[in-house]
């Protein structure tokens, strides 16, 4: 399977919001950088930055910066993006002996 075919397959799967939520959870376990890559994938699967910008009233350039490899999104911006996608963040107690991503 080529990388283009895989991206197409992944984006099709990410259209399912339950799948997308699980995907983001797994990405976050890998670390912040992987989470931002995963969030970019989910955003792309749901219409891209342009559509997200219109529906969240966040400017396009700010969204590109936020989701870049060196992005550092604020909690309020991240919450707006996730809310728009229909995904919520939940907190649970960390299991003893595990390390943060």
Task: Estimate to the nearest angstrom the gap between the alpha carbon of 75 and the chain centroid.
Answer: 13
Q: How many structural domains does the chain have?
A: 1
The answer to whether residues 74 and 58 touch, using CB atoms and an 8 Å cutoff, is: no
Domain ranges, residue 32: 3-85
Which whole-number Å values give the CA distances from 11 to 5, 90, 91, 95, in the listed order?
10, 24, 26, 31
Residue 101 lies in a domain: no
Residue 74 lies in a domain: yes
pTM of the model: 0.86
Residue 91 lies in a domain: no
Residue 90 lies in a domain: no
Residue 98 lies in a domain: no
pLDDT by residue for the chain (101 residues), tens only, comes to 788 899 999 999 999 999 999 999 999 999 999 999 999 999 999 999 999 999 988 999 999 999 988 888 999 999 999 999 999 988 888 787 777 65
């Amino acid at each position: 399977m080529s990388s283009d075919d895989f991206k197409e397959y992944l984006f099709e799967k990410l259209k399912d919001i339950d799948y997308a939520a699980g995907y983001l959870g797994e990405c976050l376990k890998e670390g912040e950088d992987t989470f931002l890559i995963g969030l970019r994938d989910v955003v792309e699967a749901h219409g891209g930055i342009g559509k997200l910008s219109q529906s969240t009233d966040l400017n396009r350039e700010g969204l590109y910066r936020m989701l870049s490899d060196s992005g550092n999104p604020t909690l309020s911006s991240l919450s707006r993006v996730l809310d728009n996608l229909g995904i919520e963040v939940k907190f649970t107690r960390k299991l003893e002996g595990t390390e943060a991503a």
